[in-house]
Structure 1
Amino acid sequence: MSEPKEVYEAVLGQLKSSRSRKSLEAIQAVCKEHYESGAVDFKVATIAKLGASRGVPSSQTIRNKTGAAYRAVIEAWQALGNKKKKAIKAQTTPSGEYDWVDEVSNKTHHYLILDLISKVRKLRAENKRFASIKKLEIDYRADTEDTPESRLPRLLNHEIDALKDAISEESLKVKGWTKTDRGSIKDHTGKIIFRNGFVDGIEKLLSLDIGP
Structure 2
Amino acid sequence: MSTDMKLFLDNLKKDRSTCTQASLDKLNTLLEKRFNAGEEDYSIVTIGKLSASSGGVGIDSFRNKAGNHYKLLLKEWATLADTTTKKPPKRYSRKNEVSSDMELLKRLDDPAMRAVFGQIIAEKKKLKAENHILKQQTEVIVDMRPNQVFSAGQVQQQVEIIPSLTGVLVNSEIEALRDAIDENNLRNRGWIVSRLGSIKDENGRSLFKSGFVSAIQKILAEI
- TM bucket by the smaller chain? 0.3 to 0.5
Between structures 1 and 2, the one with greater helix share: 1
Bigger radius of gyration among the two: 2
Higher RCO (CA 8 Å, separation ≥ 6 residues):
1
- State the TM-score, normalizing by the size of structure 2: 0.36
